[in-house]
Structure 1
Amino acid sequence: MFAPLPAAAAWLHREARTGFEVAYFRGDDRGVLIEGCATAVEDGQPWAIDYRLRLDGSWHTRSAHITGRYRDARRTVTVHSDGLGRWQVDGAAAPEFDGCLDIDLEASALTNAFPVHRLALPVGDAADAPAVYVRAGDLATTRLPQHYRRITDGPGQRYDYRAPTLDFHATLDYDEHGLITTYPGLAERTA
């Protein structure tokens, strides 16, 4: 069980990209509303991503409105879920995401908190948590297989994380609120 979310959190993005992310949290009778922004330079290309995410009381992603600003364009994508693993992207059914309960924004260190809250794994247990993955560079959506294994407990938690299609493996550290503090190769929590 995690402590209540703070009013805001921030991460410094480094190594894979140089940038910053800020997120604001508001709980209500429907769950959690998160509004945030990530700005970065990655592979020499600057981008800014604004997001508004709605999670239900069980930490299932219910909606996401994401806007990306780039040198030559502005893009927007809207994603909705019934909370049971059926999705729509920009109003069209997206059966390729059936079974996903989370959204994962490539631009964000925050979104890896969603499955950790939702799964509430005991130490030693593991689970697959496929997500609707939204790429930072063009807001394209793809299915992202993910695997979480909880490896420690304490004031915070530590997970072995794998995203095989991205050939990515890391140990992720979370604070008492269930927010990432250390995301190797990507981000460190600063507030």
Structure 2
Amino acid sequence: MVRVDFSDPSSIVAAIRGHEIVYNCTADAKLHTVIDTEAEVNKRWEDLPMLPADIVWRPSTGIGYEHVKVREENDQILIDSIVIGSQDTNDIFRVKYDIVLDKSWVTRAVAIRYLGEDQGLLLSSDGNGIWKDEQGQVIPELSGCVDIDLSCTPFTNTLPINRLSYEPSQQQEIQVVYISAADLSYKQVKQNYTLLENGKDSSIFRYRSGNFTENITVDSNGIVVLYPNLFYREMGPDAR
């Protein structure tokens, strides 16, 4: 006899693989179900064992590095990162950002600042679309946003990928807080994510924002491996 967690599709498949028929062993029931054990199991991104993570990205062009660390602590997912890169003016910048997420990958706070300078930004969220600034004042223009998108990193693409559920070719439309690393300004923007390929070790999502569209490859934990023409992973699982 094998105990199966029926809330976890992968547990069911692991228990029944190699069997064509599974019997329902409830009292007084003489039922059976034929199951295709080779059928694809939808991933539940938020349940995947990924932490802690230690990853390095490089820009596809120009100079730069990002080192991001992801860990769990007190029912939160904590991200801290240092990004070194160049602006369109070729000026070098050094940015540190920290993100606090709940266990469902919902953003609760983000802090970003230039290293060696006083300039910085701190935003917090109730997780239901209400955002506040460092002084605790509500920011009406960000109402309804759950995720953030930092211009200097591919990591924030992971947030909606892991937070939402996806079916193949299904488009998820979201409103996000877009933060420019160039001047720390922010605004609300519409973005779309569509699952194109769902593999065992990696998946591909089509990302769209305005007129910009790109297909992003992520690993089995939803973290970017390749963002064509912008970023590629140099250190960590599936580095290229």
Task: Give the TM-score normalised by structure 1.
Answer: 0.91
Secondary structure of the structure 2 residue equivalent to 1:116 = helix
Please identify the structure whose Cα radius of gyration is greater. 2
Contact between 2:179 and 2:186, CA under 8 Å: does it hold in 1? yes
Contact between 2:154 and 2:227, CA under 8 Å: does it hold in 1? yes
Contact between 2:129 and 2:144, CA under 8 Å: does it hold in 1? yes
Counterpart pick for 1:159 among 205, 212, 220? 205
State whether structure 2 residue 166 is matched by structure 1 residue 125: no
- Count matched residues: 186
Q: Which has the higher strand share?
A: 1
> What are the ranges of 5 or more consecutive residues in structure 2 without an aligned counterpart?
1-43, 236-240
Contact between 1:68 and 1:139, CA under 8 Å: does it hold in 2? no
Counterpart pick for 1:173 among 209, 214, 217? 217
RMSD: 1.5
Task: Give the TM-score normalised by structure 2.
Answer: 0.74
Cα deviations across residues 127-150 of structure 1 (Å, max 9, x unaligned)?
A: 112211110111111112110011
Contact between 1:68 and 1:138, CA under 8 Å: does it hold in 2? no
Query: Quick one: percent identity of the two aligned structures?
Result: 28
Alignment of 1:26-175 (within 5 A): 26-43=71-88, 44-69=90-115, 74-91=118-135, 92-154=137-199, 155-164=201-210, 167-175=211-219
Runs of 4+ in structure 1 off by over 4 angstroms are: none
Secondary structure of the structure 1 residue equivalent to 2:119 = strand
Deviation at 1:7, TM superposition (A): 2.5
Q: Distance in 2 between matches of 1:68 and 1:121?
A: 35
Contact between 1:21 and 1:36, CA under 8 Å: does it hold in 2? yes
Contact between 1:18 and 1:42, CA under 8 Å: does it hold in 2? no
Residue type of the alignment partner of 1:183? Y
Contact between 1:60 and 1:83, CA under 8 Å: does it hold in 2? yes
